[in-house]
Homo-oligomer: A and B are copies of this chain.
């Protein structure tokens, strides 16, 4: 199981390429073969799944009931904007322009390790999202993660 962590900012060159952070690469399972699937995130960002983890996502999606409207909507809008990527010989990825547009990624990209997957943000958009998070919330997060209590997943 991969365990991506940390935050890495890299610049995007004129050809739309970004260096894939070396430390995240070290967390890649060999199964992933340096191949990824990238999709629209729920916030204005992108989710980058290594090949092996994507299998789990697919599996989850396959369990969705297609005969409910909700199910179809979820599935459709998730898969619709999914694209396969892989690292080039310099360990870079080329971000598809329709996705960078969606995430408003411009010039620079921030990679956030999220355990099983990776989020990709525009630095400024991410900073805006951070502002919404006050100190109390951060404290609460800590307690959730570190306490012995099972995590409360309610919204």
Contacts and interface: CB of A to CB of B under 8 A. Distances in A.
Given A57-B146, A61-B145, A70-B155, A114 B5 contact: no
A15 interface: no
Contacts of A138: 77
Contacts of A78: 141-142, 145
Interface string A113-155: 1111101000000000000010001110111111000111111
Given A57-B146, A58-B115, A76-B114, 14 more contacts: A1-B62, A5-B37, A5-B80, A7-B98, A62-B116, A64-B144, A64-B151, A65-B153, A66-B117, A68-B155, A69-B155, A73-B141, A75-B115, A78-B142
A3 interface: yes
A103 to B, nearest CB: 15
Given A6-B79, A83-B5, A155-B68, A115 B62 contact: yes
Interface of A: 1, 3-7, 23, 37, 42-43, 57-58, 60-84, 98, 112-117, 119, 133, 137-139, 141-146, 150-155
